[in-house]
Chain A
Amino acid sequence: MTVCPTIKNILLLDSDGKRVAVKYYTDEWPTNSEKLAFEKSVFTKTQKTNARTEAEITMLENNIIVYRFVQDLNFFVTGGDDENELILASVLQGFYDAVTLLLRNNVDQKEALENLDLILLCLDEIVDGGIILETDGNIIAGKVATHSMDDGAPLSEQTISQALATAREHLTRSLLR
């Protein structure tokens, strides 16, 4: 057994199985075409299932995949076959919660692509090199949304971008409450 819980990859695919954002943490799928093939088989295998209210789970080759579908977005988290399923599910839940917060409840492909930076930062804050960093969706979203200015920033730079960031932060805070 791998002693430390390890995440092999996190996938966010659209309703056609195309990538919105993906992150692989192992060398198990070294090339892009192998990654695509894996995504395709995961997608086709899970398509007929109903994973809209509750996270679902399946096995593919020697991997366990927990997944959840929302609107036209499909969330997947993959781990090895000796991994604790519930740990994988907690990562999925954290990812899903964080994305919901960051997209202000408009969880769909359009919104996700328009805020791809947030999604990518989100992936970065959940898992680092396969090791789980954080599973609490609120904290993950909080980390991603810290968009205030650095203390030492000159006033001239605090323009529209800051106003936007502050607004966004404000919003997130109100959601976190």
Chain B
Amino acid sequence: MAQPLVKKDDDRDDDFEFSPFYGIEKGAVLQEARVFNDPQLDARRCSQVITKLLYLLNQGENFTKVEATEVFFSVTKLFQSKDIGLRRMVYLIIKEISPSADEVIIVTSSLMKDMNSRTDMYRANAIRVLCRITDGTLLTQIERYLKQAIVDKNPIVASAALVSGFHLLQTTPEIVKRWSNEVQEAVQSRAALVQFHALALLHQIRQNDRLAISKLVTSLTRGSVRSPLAQCLLVRYTSQVIRESSMNNQTGDRPFYDYLEGCLRHKAEMVIFEAARAITELNGVTSRELTPAITVLQLFLSSSKPVLRFAAVRTLNKVAMSHPMAVTNCNIDMESLISDQNRSIATLAITTLLKTGNESSVDRLMKQITNFMSDIADEFKIVVVEAIKSLCLKFPLKYRSLMNFLSNILREEGGFEYKKAIVDSIVILIRDIPDAKESGLLHLCEFIEDCEFTYLSTQILHFLGNEGPKTGDPSKYIRYIYNRVILENATVRAAAVSTLAKFGALVDSLKPRIFVLLRRCLFDNDDEVRDRATLYLNTLGGDGTVVETDKDVKEFLFGSLDVPLTNLETSLKNYEPSEEPFDINSVPREVKSQPLTEKKTQGKKPTGLGAPPTGPTSTVDGYEKLLLSVPEFASFGKLFKSSAPVELTEAETEYAVNVVKHIFDNHVVFQYNITNTIPEQLLENVTVIVDASDAEEFGELVTKPLKSLPYDTPGQTYVAFEKPEGVPAVGKFSNMLRFIVKEVDPSTGEADDDGVEDEYQLEDLEVVAADYMLKVGVSNFRNAWESLDLDNERVDEYGLGARESLAEAVSAVTSLLGMQPCEGTEVVASNSRSHTCLLSGVYLGNVRVLVRLSFGIVGQKEVAMKLAVRSEDVSISDVIHEIVASG
């Protein structure tokens, strides 16, 4: 089969000669398209012209609006021809041109005629084209035909209708949902693909109805689903049901596991693999459940098909992260895959081996990998480096050979991403394995001697400044650092100056020599370097006597910038030069939360009504401006925190309301964001009546009503409360939406003059302790922890009772406190029996709080927790304990 290719160079000329599209030109083709208008149609010629047009579109040629319209209109004439081939091309080009709504009307009748034609091919294709280009209004007209088509005896027609339904569900769900009877019938079809399409659509229609999905799965797993593709879908739905039901099923056997295991014996590989993968991804899967899945995957490893090997090794690789022991049986097959032709497979095999390997096999593996590294691409190397890093953390005793490996590959050729991965790995190893520190730092020093990446050099210098002075012999690093000052570009030179200063601050014996070096930098030809040198000489007292480095200086040199950079940037931009110096404390510290991802339940693309009210409710800055614009709130002072929006209504109700809690020193403002989702209504004088009888410490102050709320435009109304200064008062508030409703004529958009007063019950709202905590991360938790006074530490232990899992307990406590998890400690490895989580935040009154949580499982499911709090104010440490104790 493998025929030698014709040499590319001498091939090039005739390459173009034999192409029927050689020298094709848009203008000429558009001219040619006039044949569509001939009274006597030449079907063959028309087909050719359409093919040329499609070729141009396919090559990415742009058609202007006018050109597209012109082509579209002349193409519609071709419906006169009875030639099937030509008709197929007409369908194709209509889909490609995707005409605008007002143009669609012209072909609608022709397509509807084809939809009812006796030729199956016409019916199927006309349905697909029509559903692609239509909008909602037309759909009601053709709905009847589509329902018929779904249960048509011709599988191609049925599939066309089902797949079209699948797409239409995104735009006009209310219509497609009416078809479920027909779709249900099609699930029983004898045609394999129809069954697949019907099942997909049925699931999509019912995706929000858990019970219906569960019933569907129950009935189908018993019966026989014929098509492999449909079977794959069923496996996916089944694992979805398992995932959702495991919450309330504690006892022994997992429902539907037998079905998944049965699928491992299916005759189609596709289904076997889908089932094996589903089993490996089950929550808290046991090794007994895993074994059959691993066995089939192991068989796939020695398949002759690369796709099968890849699929199997990729899945096993994932399993190895959580259940390394389960995969060890496959190690021999994996080792033979290291020499696989397909480098993706080989890399996956190696990284899997690195995860499952035990301490004794490390050295042998490293030897194999060294040979392997030279002939793979950077992206694979990065994966290997990551795997080696985790291996080293797992077997700290092996750090010597692993660190050597890393330093060796650091010296070889490689791109930025690759080098960065290596450097990052070494840095992490230095941080976590104390023994590796000295050798690791020296490797890094050697690397920056000959490093072409400015970013990496500065990173390493910064790291060196923090870690180097704490080593046994700090002086040996000075040479490497000062060499940078002599040899590098300005950015690196500036970083090196800072590093020198750090050595000077921490190691008193080196101070005089550091000063000498820093003074030389005063003559550098770059401003930044000179400025830094001058600054450090002054702060360290290098101008005269050698003084003890005081706390402020250390704070300045080593303290991390605890405001988010983006916030700092906005504040600096807003700062107007004046007598008053810029105050860094005025920068908001709240980490901007990621925009909430839309819940999946509403389908992929929220349209119109489903869309969450956007607008002025996204960022802290936005809130602050918004609130300041309300004169009643101007006297409240600086905004401390704004909560994330809390929904007060179910999704898809008449009025969508959510609330944002704004905390000030002695006030709390509730901002209600209201969206009216009824086109026939205009709401006026909208207020929220708040009953604060369950919140004793709060006194209602002002209510700011919303004058008018038209359809689908979010509006805000506010209610402000007074509370004792500095006290983290908590309480529960019940809310009632009150408004005057006026009928709107949808055709004219005019509202009636008379309105009716109405009320709408909202859900309750609580102000909790977490509302007084700002999520503020720290970059280096240990440094920050140590910088806080030990006297302010409060430690206590708590029993959390029976919990679903450790992860659940961690997230419960984290959200109770409303603090920012640091260094990724919010992630709990599955099946682990203990976990430590680090939290950081700023409490009301700008008090920094750090929390170290240690969790452990006692007995069956009982979770115990040790809570250590350090803060700048000992009373706040106590408050944190109170929150946890009462939560």
Pick from B20, B232, B240: contact of A87, CB under 8 Å: B232
CB pair A86–B311 under 8 Å, yes or no, is yes
Chain B contacts for A147, CB-based, 8 A: 84-85
CB distance A149 to B84 under 8 Å? yes
Q: Rank and list the top 8 A-B pairs by shortest CB-CB distance, nearest first.
A: A153-B82, A32-B60, A85-B311, A150-B82, A86-B270, A52-B2, A89-B307, A161-B44
- The verdict on A121 contacting B83 (CB below 8 Å), with A4-B200, A132-B229 known, is no
B698 at the interface (CB under 8 A from A): no
Binds A, one of B50-58, B615-623, B787-795: B50-58
0/1 string, B365-394, CB within 8 A of A gives 1: 000000000000000000000000000000
Q: Are A120 and B54 neighbours in the complex by a CB distance under 8 Å?
A: yes
Residues of B within 8 A of A114 (CB): 20
Assembly CA distance A124 to B121 (angstroms): 13
| Chain A residues within 8 Å of B167, by CB | 128-129, 131
Query: Which residue of the partner chain, among A1, A66, A150, contacts B307 with CB atoms under 8 Å?
Result: A66
0 or 1 for each of B296-333: is its CB under 8 Å from A? (1 = yes): 00000000111110110010000000000000000000
Q: Which residues of B contact A36 (CB under 8 A)?
A: 60
Residues of A within 8 A of B196 (CB): 132
Residues from chain A with Cβ under 8 Å of B344 in the complex: 57-59
CA distance A165 to B84 in the complex (A): 10
Cα of A55 to Cα of B119 in the assembled complex, Å? 36
Interface size, A (range): 35 or more
Question: In this complex, what residue of B is CB-closest to A3?
Answer: B236
A163 to chain B minimum Cβ distance, whole angstroms, is 11
Please tell me if the beta carbons of A131 and B119 are within 8 angstroms of each other in the complex.
Answer: no
> Does B870 make an interface contact (CB < 8 A)?
no
- Check B128–A128 contact: CB distance below 8 A: yes
Residues on A with C-beta less than 8 A from B160 are 128
**How far is B203's CA from A174's CA once the two chains are assembled, in angstroms?**
40
A interface footprint on B156-184 (CB within 8 Å = 1, 0 otherwise): 10011001101100000000000000000
Chain B, 82-131, CB within 8 A of any chain A CB: 82-85, 87-89, 92, 95, 118-119, 121-122, 128
Cross-chain contact B274 with A55 (CB below 8 angstroms): no
Total contacting residues, chain B, CB less than 8 A: 74
Is B82 within 8 A of A154, CB to CB? Answer: yes
Contact assessment for B306 and A4 in the assembled complex, using a CB-CB cutoff below 8 Å: no
Q: Does B193 contact A (CB under 8 A)?
A: yes
Q: Which residue numbers of A lie inside 8 Å of B, CB to CB?
A: 1, 3-5, 15-16, 19, 21-22, 32, 35-36, 49-50, 52-59, 66, 70-72, 84-90, 109-110, 113-114, 116-117, 120-121, 124, 128-129, 131-135, 143, 146-154, 157, 160-162, 164-165
Whether the pair B341, A50 counts as a contact (CB closer than 8 A) is yes
Q: A5-B229, A117-B47, A143-B121 are in contact. Are A15 and B307 (CB under 8 A)?
A: no
Task: List, in ascending order, chain A residues with CB within 8 A of B193's CB.
Answer: 133-134
The residue from A49, A85, A161 contacting B85, defined by CB atoms under 8 A apart? A161
Q: Are B89 and A117 in contact (CB under 8 A)?
A: yes
24 contacts between A and B (CB under 8 A): A3-B204, A3-B233, A4-B203, A5-B232, A19-B58, A19-B59, A58-B344, A72-B5, A86-B274, A87-B270, A89-B307, A113-B19, A116-B51, A121-B88, A128-B163, A131-B166, A147-B84, A148-B84, A150-B83, A150-B119, A150-B122, A153-B82, A154-B82, A157-B43
The answer, among B5, B132, B310, for a CB contact under 8 Å with A15, is: B5
Cα–Cα distance between A152 and B550 once the two chains are bound (Å): 99
- Any chain A CB within 8 A of the CB of B197? yes
Determine the residue in chain A with the shortest Cβ distance to B167: A129
Which residue of chain B is the closest to A165 with respect to CB atoms? Answer: B85
B51-A117 in contact (CB<8A): yes
Q: Report chain A residues within 8 Å CB of B306.
A: 54-57
What is the CA–CA distance of A24 and B712 in the complex, to the nearest angstrom? 34
User: B51, B84, B163, B310: which contacts A85 (Cβ < 8 A)?
Assistant: B310
Residue of A16, A35, A88, A134 most packed against chain B (CB within 10 A): A134
A86 engages B273 (CB within 8 Å): yes
Instruction: Assess whether B229 is in contact with A113, with CB atoms less than 8 Å apart.
Output: no
* Complex alpha-carbon distance, A59 and B346, angstroms: 13
**Contact check: which of A35, A55, A56, A143 meets B156 at CB < 8 Å?**
A143
CB nearest neighbor in A for B274: A84
Docked-complex contact A151 and B118, CB < 8 angstroms: yes
Contact string against A for B residues 126-165, beta-carbon threshold 8 Å, 1 for contact and 0 otherwise: 0010001000000000000000000000001001100110
Neighbouring A residues of B277 by C-beta, 8 Å: 84
CA distance A85 to B314 in the complex (A): 10
Q: Which residue of B lies closest to A129 (CB)?
A: B167
Asked whether, in the complex, the Cβ of A55 is within 8 Å of the Cβ of B232, the reply is no
Say whether B269 faces chain A, with CB atoms less than 8 Å apart. Answer: yes
| Among B95, B159, B203, contact of A133 (Cβ-Cβ < 8 Å) | B159
Are the CB atoms of A52 and B1 closer together than 8 Å?
yes
Q: How far is the CA of A134 from the CA of B193 in the complex (A)?
A: 7
Distance, CA A8 to CA B8, complexed state (A): 30
B314 partner residues in chain A, CB cutoff 8 A: 85
Decide: A72 near B232, CB < 8 A? Known: A143-B156, A147-B84: no
Q: How far is the CB of A130 from chain B (nearest CB, A)?
A: 9
**For B197, what are the chain A residues with a Cβ–Cβ distance below 8 Å?**
131
Name which residue of chain A comes closest to B192, CB basis: A136
> Would you call A4 and B55 a contact (CB within 8 A)?
no
Whether A160 pairs with B44 at a CB distance below 8 angstroms is yes
Q: Contact check, A53 vs B2: say whether CB atoms are below 8 A apart.
A: yes
Contact A124 B92 (CB under 8 A): yes
Residues A131 and B200 in contact in the complex (CB < 8 Å), given A147-B85, A157-B83: yes
Bound-state Cα–Cα, A53 to B229, Å: 25
Contacts of A49 in B (CB 8 A): 341-342
| B450: min CB distance to chain A, Å | 29
B58 touches which one: A22, A52, A53, A66 (CB < 8 A)? Answer: A22
Q: How far is the CA of A109 from the CA of B11 in the complex (A)?
A: 12
Known: A5-B229, A19-B59, A57-B342; 14 extra A-B contacts, CB below 8 A, are: A3-B233, A4-B204, A5-B233, A21-B58, A66-B307, A86-B308, A86-B311, A116-B20, A117-B47, A120-B51, A120-B92, A128-B160, A150-B87, A151-B119
B81 contacts chain A at the CB level, 8 A cutoff: yes
Q: Is the CB of A120 within 8 A of B273?
A: no
Q: Which A residue sits closest to B199, measured CB to CB? A: A4
The yes or no answer to B886 lying at the interface (CB within 8 A) is: no
B6 at the binding interface (Cβ < 8 Å)? yes
Which A residues are CB-close (under 8 A) to B85?
117, 147, 161, 165
Contact of A57 among B8, B82, B163, B310 (CB under 8 A): B310
Q: Counting CB contacts under 8 A, is B556 at the interface?
A: no
> Inside 8 A of B578's CB, which chain A residues have their CB?
none
Question: Contacts A56-B307, A90-B270 hold; do A161 and B19 have CB atoms under 8 A apart?
Answer: no
* Contact call B203/A3, Cβ cutoff below 8 A: yes
Q: Are B83 and A161 in contact (CB under 8 A)?
A: yes
Check B121–A85 contact: CB distance below 8 A.
no
Contact B3 A71 (CB under 8 A): yes
CB-CB nearest in chain A for B341? A50
B residues 196-221 touching A (CB-CB < 8 Å):
196-197, 200, 203-204, 207
Least CB distance from A26 to B in Å reads 11
B21 interface hit (Cβ, 8 Å)? yes
Also in contact, A121 and B311, with CB within 8 A (given A134-B193, A161-B85): no
A152 to B118, CA, bound (A): 10
Q: In the complex, A146→B83 CA distance in Å?
A: 11
- State in angstroms the CA–CA spacing of A151 and B307 once bound together: 45
Name the contact of B273 in the complex, choosing from A32, A85, A131 (C-beta under 8 A).
A85
A174 to B15, CA, bound (A): 31
Question: In the assembled complex, which residues on chain A have CB atoms less than 8 Å from the CB atom of B128?
Answer: 128
Contacts of A86 in B (CB 8 A): 269-270, 273-274, 307-308, 311
Interfacial residues of chain B within 43-82, with CB under 8 A of chain A in the complex = 43-44, 47, 50-51, 54-55, 58-60, 62, 81-82
CA distance A3 to B233 in the complex (A): 7
- CB pair B58 A54 closer than 8 Å: no
| Interface status of B237 (Cβ within 8 A of chain A) | yes
Question: How does the 8 Å CB contact mask read for B19-38 relative to A, with 1 for contact and 0 for none?
Answer: 11100000000000000000
Complex Cα gap A116–B308 (Å): 32
Report yes or no: B236 in contact with A150, Cβ–Cβ below 8 A: no
B15 CB contacts on chain A under 8 angstroms: 109
